[in-house]
Amino acid sequence: MSDHAHSSPLKTYFAVWIALLAGTGLTYWAALIDLGRFNAAVALIIATTKALLVALFFMHLKGASEKLLKLVVVSTIFFLIILLALSMFDYGTRSFS
């Protein structure tokens, strides 16, 4: 039997889970503080960090091939553009009276 230098996947999953819980607590705590126009930016930074943890560890992108990573990045950007375009179209067609 050979010794593995990597830690147990179960330990890694629990560590990431604890980090996600801490991120959720941080999001709640940040929502209680009035940061002015930076409220959305702080919330998005925390959410992006949590999404990155999920993608890297639970979706197993950390040890994935370079082609798969490129596919994930391209598809993420593509759907982000769709989301932003539809949101801007909705915002642009509203009447503010």
Domain ranges of the chain: 7-63, 64-97
Q: What's the rounded Cα separation, in Å, for the pair 50 and 60?
A: 15
pLDDT, tens digit, for every residue of 76-87?
Answer: 899 989 999 999
What is the Rg, in whole angstroms, of the alpha carbon atoms belonging to the chain?
19
Q: What's the rounded Cα separation, in Å, for the pair 23 and 9?
A: 21
5-14: long-range pairs with CB below 8 Å, 24+: 12/57, 13/57, 13/58
The answer to whether the beta carbons of residues 27 and 41 sit under 8 Å apart is no
pLDDT, tens digit, for every residue of 42-78?
Answer: 998 999 999 989 988 888 888 888 898 888 889 989 9
Prediction pTM value: 0.67
**Which residue, chain included where needed, has tokens 């197993």?**
60
